[in-house]
């Protein structure tokens, strides 16, 4: 599976797709974008829909990294490999490279 976000707005949102499938069958889900109501609010803008779609698309990678964590704790996996999996999942979820925290 090669889950990604197609940021082209379609049907009131953006698509989460599986790039390993033929284009006709790539659609996995649509994250719906709805502008907030003028008085009631309760909507999300397109940029928020895109952010949420990236997090959803990265969920499979995050799960894989988390499932490998017990191996890291038990000494059957290397810490570097686990950290790289987590960094890749966070990068995919945020849509940008993982940045180390700033030192105080």
Question: Tens digit of pLDDT for each residue in 7-60?
Answer: 888 877 888 888 888 888 888 888 887 777 778 877 778 888 888 888 888 888
* Mean pLDDT value of segment 54-77: 74
Could you tell me which of 63, 32, 26, 36 has the C-alpha nearest to residue 50?
32
- Give pLDDT, residue 30: 82
Helices vs strands, H then E, count in the chain: 2, 3
For the cut 80, the answer to whether the pLDDT of residue 73 exceeds it is no
DSSP state of 59: H
Residues 6+ apart with CB under 8 A from 90: 58, 98
Q: Are 16 and 56 in contact (CB under 8 A)?
A: yes
pTM: predicted TM-score of the whole model, two decimal places = 0.63
- Give pLDDT, residue 103: 64
Please name every residue paired with 37 in a beta bridge, in sequence order, or none if there are none: 41
* Mean pLDDT value of segment 2-7: 85
């Amino acid at each position: 599976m090669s889950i990604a976000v197609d940021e082209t707005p379609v049907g009131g949102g953006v698509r989460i797709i599986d790039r390993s499938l033929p284009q006709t069958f790539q659609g996995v889900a649509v994250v719906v974008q709805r502008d907030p109501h003028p008085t009631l609010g309760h909507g999300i803008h397109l940029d928020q829909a895109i952010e949420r779609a990236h997090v959803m698309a990265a969920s499979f990678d995050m799960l894989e990294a988390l499932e490998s964590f017990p191996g890291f704790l038990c000494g059957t996996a290397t810490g570097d490999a686990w950290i790289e999996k987590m960094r890749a999942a966070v990068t995919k979820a945020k849509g940008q490279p993982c940045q180390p925290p700033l030192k105080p």
